[in-house]
Amino acid sequence: MADFSRRGVLAGAGLAVGAGAAAGAGLMRLTETETETVRAAAPGGPIPFHGPHQAGIATPVQDRLHFAAFDLGTDAPAEAAELLRRWTAAAVRMTAGQEVGGGATGAELAPPDDTGEALELPASRLTLTVGFGPSFFEKLRLPAPDRLRELPRFPADKLDPARSGGDICVQACADDPQVAVHAVRNLARIAFGTASVRWSQLGFGKTSSTTPQAQTPRNLMGFKDGTRNIAGTDRAALDAHVWVGREGPEWLRGGSYLVARRIRMHIETWDRTSLKEQEDIFGRTKREGAPYGAAREHDPVRLDRLPADAHVRLAHPDSLGGATILRRGYSFTDGSDGLGRLDAGLFFLAYQRDPEKGFIPIQRALAARDPLNEYIQHVGSGIWACPGGVPAGSFWGEALFS
């Protein structure tokens, strides 16, 4: 398998060189953000770890996810800072496709620095994104951002405490699931004695995209998801709706607030529902993804042509005073529930500048009226403040501890 992967990467690299030679003059005219997006979309290659924002938010969405929430076993800020320093050093190497520390070799009677399952695999566009939950600040007695508060309880929530919350979250995204799992596994190993995994979630089949020019992905209900998502190259929209500005503490500027929701889908019931009812629930056609009254997916949405309680209408910014989020969700299947029903659904990830102007009003509207609630249930939840980007020589959230 490793030989096949390497041949594929080398072949892809050859094609990329040829394409670059043919279109080099055009690339020279790209803006810095557009150039970064082109680089981040290249198959197999690394995505820069350092920058003004954490990678894994506006970055082109990869194919696979391993998300983990950690609980601290210490209330000492110095110990938490040292953990983040060690995590950052490992993340810099792993996102570059390198081994952690001294690698998978060393003294025979000591564990290796790297667990080894990603040896010889390319970086696979791995990104690692970190966030701090409300309990992180309570435990360490540090000042929390004003806008970081536990989410309100929404109607029909059935949240499992064992799949909710956490002091620190780590979002690992990559095009190879083994690379993503390897990243979280090694961070958990490094954290031994200081923090431990509270819960985790694997995801596949991205359900939204930050590259609107690409084909819109579909969720497990078969509908295109995230048609109106913010583009990773739309600086104005990102500044307005995603990146925290001067209203936040210094360590959070250029960062974002992350809401994660594990949404169980009642797949078997949905699969016995008529096509017309499915389309009425969403307000879009299933095959094309066009809003009612239009012919193509990206045609303007006419809210007056949609059913009053259609999912698209209820969640549309024009229905909610402009509430907008950047979506970065994945499908999941975790076997069956013992009754022959798939434990499957959507692991919903939403980034925003202010949860009170982003996820919360959207979810309030959906929880109150969305007919889709008959087919889904929110069973896990969490909110975290994700620091801004990491300059070279620094570590995740360093300014918070200074």
Q: Would you list the domain boundaries of the chain?
A: 32-100+114-145+158-386
Check residue 209 and give its pLDDT. Answer: 86
CA distances from residue 109 to 105, 106, 112, 317 in whole angstroms, order as listed: 11, 9, 9, 59
Residue 363: name the closest of 260, 264, 256 by CA: 260
Q: Nearest-CA neighbor of 96 among 38, 32, 183, 17? A: 183
Provide the sign of the torsion angle of the four alpha carbons 247, 231, 383, 156, taken in this order: positive
Cα 75 to Cα 77: distance, rounded to the nearest angstrom:
6
Query: Measured between alpha carbons, how far is 374 from 361 in angstroms, rounded to an integer?
Result: 20
Contacts of 192 (CB under 8 A, 6+ apart): none
Per DSSP, which regions of 244-399 are E strands?
256-265, 326-327, 330-336, 342-352, 376-386
- Tokens 């975290």 belong to 384
Give the model's pLDDT for residue 11: 35
The residues, ordered by sequence, that sit 6+ positions from 70 with a Cβ below 8 Å of its Cβ are 166, 167, 168, 169, 170, 188, 191, 195, 196, 197, 198
Count the helices and strands in the chain (H runs, E runs). 11, 9
Please list the residues that pair with 224 across neighbouring strands: 218
Q: Are 124 and 117 in contact (CB under 8 A)?
A: no
Q: What pLDDT is attached to residue 3?
A: 38
pLDDT the model gives residue 97: 97
Nearest-10 crossing angle of helices 77-95, 177-190:
150
pLDDT along the chain (402 residues), means of 10: 36 36 36 50 83 97 97 98 98 97 84 94 98 98 98 96 98 98 98 98 93 88 91 96 97 98 98 98 96 94 96 96 96 93 97 98 97 98 98 97 90
